[in-house]
């Protein structure tokens, strides 16, 4: 049995998830200075749902989700770091050969 290789993610999807992660991290920096921690958690929850729905399950997203719950750690761009890690280790669909149908 062969070990599964990196998942194929289209370039358009890579750009979309990176935009979502960057936007969420930017919003967290600005929301971190507001007294409404629930707003920050809402942004992080929506971000997690979007990233999991667009990328599927990737364990790299779980530490980012946990880190975003810690107030001072949330200032670090954890979503962006996790998405860059996932995108960097995935295969690009632009250069990948077409999959054979079974």
pLDDT in tens, the chain (102 residues): 444 545 688 899 999 999 999 999 988 877 766 667 778 888 889 999 999 999 988 888 999 989 888 877 777 899 999 999 999 887 665 554 545 444
Q: Which sequence spans correspond to the domains of the chain?
A: 18-90
Of 37, 14, 40, the C-alpha closest to 27 is 40
**Cα gap 14→2, rounded to integer Å:** 26
What is the tens place of the pLDDT at every residue in 33-59? 666 777 888 888 999 999 999 998 888
On whether the CB atoms of residues 17 and 54 are closer than 8 A, the answer is yes
The model's pTM is 0.76
């Amino acid at each position: 049995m062969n070990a599964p290789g990196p998942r194929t993610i289209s370039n358009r999807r890579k750009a979309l998830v990176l935009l979502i992660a960057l936007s969420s991290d930017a919003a967290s920096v600005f929301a971190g200075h507001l007294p409404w921690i629930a707003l920050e958690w809402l942004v992080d929850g929506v971000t997690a749902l979007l990233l999991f729905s667009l990328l599927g399950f990737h364990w790299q997203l779980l530490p980012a989700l946990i880190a975003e719950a810690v107030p001072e750690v949330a200032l670090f761009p954890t979503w962006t770091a996790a998405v860059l890690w996932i995108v960097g280790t995935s295969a690009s669909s632009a250069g990948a050969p077409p999959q054979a149908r079974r």
